[in-house]
Structure 1
Amino acid sequence: MTDKQDIINDCFEIHTQSIYYRYLNKRNTPMFTQRQFRMMVALVELIDHENVVLIGRKALCQVLQVRPNNLNRTLDRLSHLVIATTSMNDKNVPRGCLKLEVNPAYGWKPSEDKTREQAIREWYLLTECGEACSKDFYFKAVYQHQPS
């Protein structure tokens, strides 16, 4: 179990700014929705190391409050914020578990291996900032210029 005091959780700040700047979205709705916010907060609280969560499918369904047959659809909706890996893709992931890499801008557990800023830079370079970044409010220039 992780020490929750060590985890940096910026989901609330990003969600608040997304609500404030909802006029940027054609439908005048926040880009970082309430549902995404709720799920991301739950995932960030489970971070084991840096931005990684290792969890069983059944436990993940309980945490995200979804039925098992809807889990993949739910993870697809979060694909711009979370990268999910299974034992089929990565032999280091135990069978029956998922390795979730959370966008480090939303949640981070400090480590000696790298800084959060390095991880954020790597995240956006690795995800190639195509369609996924257009859905990510954190990536919007208007959010980037906000005072910390």
Structure 2
Amino acid sequence: MAINNNIDLIYCISKGLSVQNFDKLPKFDKHTYKRLKRLSELVQYGSSFTVERQYLCDHLQVTPYNLINTLSFLVKKQLIEYETNKTNPDIPFGKIKVTICPSYVWSYHMTKTREQACSEWYLLRDLAETSKTDITLSPAYQDLVRDMS
């Protein structure tokens, strides 16, 4: 099962576009890149994974106390969502389910394509707000990717 991971490409394009960035483009900074890259290593199905909280803490090299703060940073940028037993009773106690924006990472999924997952991801969010934080929605990024194809 191959994982289609675009995080490195998105980060490289973001660095290239940052020269032109006069607060007109969303930023995909190194801190965000490193956190998202570490999370993408755990993707199991679609763009999500479920693991023990302690394992995720070890993988991200954070304390259990700082785990939610670390994830909340990425949630505010609308790059991930996470669920625990408190928010979803179907998730076993002590585990956490993380879903990454499918534009950044995607693995095999039986019932939907990556394009369908991306459409759902952005449909469930305020696209105007998301476009302020997600570089993959900026016209400059989309033009560069189109030119590379």
TM-score computed with the length of structure 2 as normaliser: 0.87
Alignment of 1:51-70 (within 5 A): 51-70=47-66
- Give me the whole-angstrom Cα distance separating, in 2, the residues matched to 1:131 and 1:68: 30
Q: RMSD of the alignment, in Å? A: 1.9
Query: CA offsets per residue over residues 37-62 of structure 1, 9 Å max, x none?
Result: 11111111211110111012111111
- Give me the whole-angstrom Cα distance separating, in 2, the residues matched to 1:76 and 1:64: 14
Q: Work out which of the residue numbers 90, 94, 97 in structure 2 matches 1:96.
A: 94
Query: CA offsets per residue over residues 2-61 of structure 1, 9 Å max, x none?
Result: x5xx11100000000110111325399x81111211111111121111011101211111
Q: CA separation of 1:34/1:125 partners in 2, compared to 1, >3 Å: closer, same or farther?
A: same
8 A contact 1:25–1:31 mirrored in 2: no
More helix by share: 2
- Give me the whole-angstrom Cα distance separating, in 2, the residues matched to 1:65 and 1:25: 33
Overall identity of the aligned pairs, in %: 31
Q: Is 1:83 the equivalent of 2:111? A: no
Relative contact order: is structure 1 or structure 2 higher (C-alpha 8 Å, sep ≥ 6)? Answer: 2
* Larger deviation, residues 14-23 vs 64-73: 64-73
Q: Is 1:46 the equivalent of 2:42? A: yes
Alignment of 1:1-148 (within 5 A): 3=1, 6-22=2-18, 23-26=20-23, 31-79=27-75, 80-145=78-143, 146-147=145-146, 148=149
- Give me the whole-angstrom Cα distance separating, in 2, the residues matched to 1:27 and 1:71: 31
TM-score computed with the length of structure 1 as normaliser: 0.88
- Give me the whole-angstrom Cα distance separating, in 2, the residues matched to 1:144 and 1:85: 30
List structure 1 runs of 4+ shifted beyond 4 angstroms: none
